[in-house]
Amino acid sequence: MVDLITKKRFAEALDSSEIEWLIDAYVRGAVAPEQMSALLMAVVIQGMDRGEIKALTTAMIASGERMSFSGLGRPAIDKHSTGGVGDKITLPLVPLMASLGVAVPQLSGRGLGHTGGTLDKLESIPGWRAALSNTEMEQVLREVGGVICAAGSGLAPADRAMYALRDVTGTVASVPLIASSIMSKKIAEGADGLVLDVKFGSGAFLASMADARELAETMVRLGQDSGMRTVALLTDMDAPLGRAVGNANEVRESVEVLAGGGPSDVTELTLALAREMLELAGRGDVDPEPALANGTAMDAWRRMILAQGGDPDAPLPVARETETVRAAADGIVQHVDAHKVGVAAWRLGAGRARPGDSVDHAAGVEVLVKPGERVRAGDPLFVAASDNAGRMARGLGLLGEAAEIGGSVPSSRPLIAGRVAGAA
């Protein structure tokens, strides 16, 4: 192991047999966490070439089980987002696709830090259950067409162990490590195709669009090399997505989208990803938009929540404490900082500082303004919500800095900034 650390420290490529040994030895406990931490930091600094990334992904897949949805009788297309502030797209997208005859086996995670987790959001719904066996997952897919649940312990266990280490050693933001982490699980999951939502901006893990494009291209190549059709959209996460940031309030906003309403940016991205998924499923001639207006996507949502023990009609948690942040002057909103809004929601209780922490499902932030909107002094900009009055001041401090107001109209930025697809 010391030889491998030294080799990577001097920017030499590890061959596939070395990487295979490394992952197997770490899972068996033959490699100490301190040694793996040193190697991960060397990767962050020196990077990995295409062959190394492919070998790392393959080794992590081989560390656990592989799933298959070939017996469903309909195409299975997965979706993954690299995470952002207010990113609730999975919630309306999965039932929308189910209503259009495309199965979506969505294995999701929990939030850590300033980005929210899909499972935390859905657990706002009384009775809803994230932990499903593979048999239960397939049953829900057959009955409903879509499922959102936690990944089982047998899927790429090497990645789970390595990510826990990366999270506490400052080695998360590395394109090779992010790409192999995501794609090892997605390839092992066994869907027919994968659509990636790769985010950039202040609220994303990768701030620059160039880094996001590199990550998207790397993941698309990994998918293509494994035989899984893969496409990625590059989306702007400099401002929060939608107007709700938190858990229960993001579920409410998702239901609005399923009812044909909701914020225009959430609807735009939901439909853009749906069209990419339909194309991979061989149904590119289908328009997904009517399913949001005619209620069929909402019907699929209700069936999906019920199938996992939830009550779609139950009231969602509402915070006991709310405070409004107001504009200090007249002007035009220049920028809404997604990172500051996300950290504010985290401080209010919507997120967790370490794995295993509980979250306040009622906590979060309502974003009342978007860039380009005109405000007057005293107009509301944000509403902070929490069940813990002691957390309020820490969240309000950041929200007071999150909206920049000026005198000019800012240039508009497209929500979807690019697309990356594999070779035909």
Catalytic residues: 80, 159, 166, 181, 185
Q: What is the 3-state secondary structure (H, E, C) of the chain?
A: CHHHHHHHHCCCCCCHHHHHHHHHHHHHCCCCHHHHHHHHHHHHHHCCCHHHHHHHHHHHHHCCCCCCCCCCCCCEEEEEECCCCCCCCHHHHHHHHHHCCCEEEEEECCCECCECCHHHHHCCCCCCCCCCCHHHHHHHHHHHCEEEEECCCCCCHHHHHHHHHHHHHCCCCCHHHHHHHHHHHHHHHCCCEEEEEEEECCCCCCCCHHHHHHHHHHHHHHHHHHCCEEEEEEEECCCCCCCEEECHHHHHHHHHHHCCCCCHHHHHHHHHHHHHHHHHCCCCCCCCHHHHHCCHHHHHHHHHHHHCCCCCCCCCCCCCEEEEEECCCCEEEEEECHHHHHHHHHHHHHCCCCCCCCCCCCCEEEECCCCCCEECCCCEEEEEEECCHHHHHHHHHHHHHHEEEECCCCCCCCCEEEEEECCC
Asked whether 206 and 173 are in contact (CB, 8 A), the reply is yes
